[in-house]
Amino acid sequence: MYQATLSRRSYRFSDLRQLMAKASPARSGDYLAEVAADSAEERMAARIALAEVPLKTFLQQLLVPYEQDEVTRLIIDSHDALAFAPISHLTVGDFRDWLLSEQADSAMLAQVAPGITPEMAAAVSKLMRNQDLILVAKKCRVITRFRNTIGLPGHLSVRLQPNHPTDSLQGIAASMLDGLLYGSGDAVVGINPASDSLPLLEKLNHMLDDVIQRFAIPTQSCVLTHVTNTLHLIERGAPVDLVFQSIAGTEAANSGFGINLALLAEAQQAALSLNRGTLGNNVMYFETGQGSCLSSNAHHGVDQQTCEARAYAVARHFSPLLINTVVGFIGPEYLYDGKQIIRAGLEDHFCGKLLGLPLGCDVCYTNHAEADQDDMDTLLTLLATAGLTFLIGVPGADDIMLNYQSTSFHDALYIRELLGLKHAPEFADWLTKMQITDDLGRLRDTAANHPLLLALQGEQP
């Protein structure tokens, strides 16, 4: 039992799960799950009580039962007690103060990251204002490598997302060319296919690889199909760079995705056996999003933001090159409007970085949400200020296959110019060599006989 008194009224919370849910910022998904605070006053009382909870409690009082959930078992069994030692005496409130202190610099945050559980990260985020989430995330440094170096301080990468509603190779190639000529693609060139046809998926892999190899682009490709399809593609000899999978924070939700930890481990080993990376062996790419556990009725009464943080434990176990939250993609049933989407994006980025992950964000919303592109401009600017690892680049910010609104190649140009952010260094050198950018990283005017344009037309450069 936890309790706090506010305005002469005593509030009681039956267990840690309820306390965490009641302390969460208001969002439609938690109301849908009937776990949210009934009032702003109850929410504040829950935060006051949560601030007094020792961090050690999260290793003893498990929100999802150990016996029922392999994600919980992963969190507990892989917990690094030595890394946890410097903060093990703190309460959640003390942890917030410590994270904001000068003592918690980049080196110290990297040292303690393996000792922080997702529930600890989620708990402390509930006590933080937006500026706190930004300041702490900015101090977290997470660097990964495959064919280039992602996550360096002062850098921001872009996933080039050339989706097409019929998986037209020519249409995908046109969007890919568009993105490359705007300097996007250093995180990954990643396609969400409309089809699960293995022959078509194989063609997409070969097409992406052909472009990357022909022009010696220091980046990686990914066809974002189910992990079992990727395993079949590897067996067929397709040139697979990264293994993609959507993941969630409970075993039951992951079962809904058709996956478990053993399957992810098998896929990771298969990708590693190909030895396609030139600079590193981070071969996994994961996507997450608040509300996925609730949408599959697999949340165990845990609030959606804490469930989201638990998905990061799954990702952390497999050392991904990239992971991003598709923050507004699931819809207004879970994040109702721009305010909720902005807060959720900052929470996700903070929790992921605190746990030692290369967290990116699909700054996005669905067309039936109470949000617009101005909200996305705000979230993009805040996340980039917080040290975002990568964002998504879609032609015109309108994904014509997935039918949602994201960020564009032009948005990436805006945020790079505003904050002086650089491409991955190897990709930056390639852009200069290809005369796409000048020596200062600024876009050049593209001539009609540029090799990439001629390649799309089927001509020899």
pLDDT confidence tier of residue 446, bands split at 50, 70 and 90: confident
Give 233-238's long-range contacts (Cβ < 8 A, gap of 24+). Answer: 233/198, 233/201, 233/202, 233/205, 234/270, 234/271, 234/274, 236/198, 236/202, 238/201, 238/202, 238/205, 238/206
Enumerate residues 6+ apart whose C-beta is below 8 A from 258: 226, 228
Residue 454 has pLDDT above 90, yes or no: no
Residue 129: alpha-carbon gap to chain centroid: 20
Residue 161 has pLDDT above 60, yes or no: yes
Within a 10 A sphere around the Cβ of 418, how many other Cβ atoms?
12
Percentage of the chain lying above the pLDDT 70 cut: 98
pLDDT in the model for residue 115: 98
3-state secondary structure at position 90: coil
CB 161 within 8 A of CB 191: yes
When pLDDT is averaged across residues 241-270 and rounded to a whole number, the result is 98
CB 220 within 8 A of CB 242: yes
Mean pLDDT of all residues in the chain?
96
Looking at residue 108, its amino acid is M
Within a 10 A sphere around the Cβ of 208, how many other Cβ atoms?
25
Q: Phi-psi category of 207—alpha, beta or left, where left has phi over 0 and alpha has psi -120 to 50?
A: alpha
pLDDT in the model for residue 439: 86
CA atoms within 13 A on the CB side of 84: 21
| Spatial separation of the C-alpha atoms in residues 312 and 125, rounded to whole Å | 14
Residue 456 has pLDDT above 70, yes or no: no
Residue 97: alpha-carbon gap to chain centroid: 25
Residue 459 has pLDDT above 50, yes or no: no
pLDDT in the model for residue 461: 38
| Spatial separation of the C-alpha atoms in residues 207 and 198, rounded to whole Å | 14
Tell me 115's DSSP state: G
pLDDT tens digits along 209-241: 999 999 999 999 999 999 999 999 999 999 999
pTM of the predicted structure, to 2 decimals: 0.96
Within a 10 A sphere around the Cβ of 417, how many other Cβ atoms?
11
Beta strand ranges found along 261-346 (DSSP E): 284-288, 322-325
User: Which tokens belong to 435?
Assistant: 């005369």
Kindly give the interhelix angle for 70-77 and 261-274, rounded to the nearest 10 degrees: 70
Percentage of the chain lying above the pLDDT 90 cut: 93
**C-alpha radius of gyration, the chain, whole number:** 22
Question: Which residue has tokens 């301080």?
Answer: 153
When pLDDT is averaged across residues 302-331 and rounded to a whole number, the result is 97
pLDDT tens digits along 89-145: 999 999 999 999 999 999 999 999 999 999 999 999 999 999 999 999 999 999 999
| Spatial separation of the C-alpha atoms in residues 194 and 241, rounded to whole Å | 20
pLDDT tens digits along 268-282: 999 999 999 999 999
pLDDT in the model for residue 23: 98
Residue 460 has pLDDT above 50, yes or no: no
Residue 403 has pLDDT above 50, yes or no: yes
Distances (CA, A) of 121 to 309, 393, 458: 7, 29, 51
pLDDT in the model for residue 450: 87
Residue 376 has pLDDT above 80, yes or no: yes
When pLDDT is averaged across residues 142-151 and rounded to a whole number, the result is 98
pLDDT tens digits along 16-57: 999 999 999 999 999 999 999 999 999 999 999 999 999 999
pLDDT confidence tier of residue 458, bands split at 50, 70 and 90: low
| Spatial separation of the C-alpha atoms in residues 283 and 240, rounded to whole Å | 10
Closest CA to 322 of 221, 413, 421: 221
When pLDDT is averaged across residues 155-172 and rounded to a whole number, the result is 96
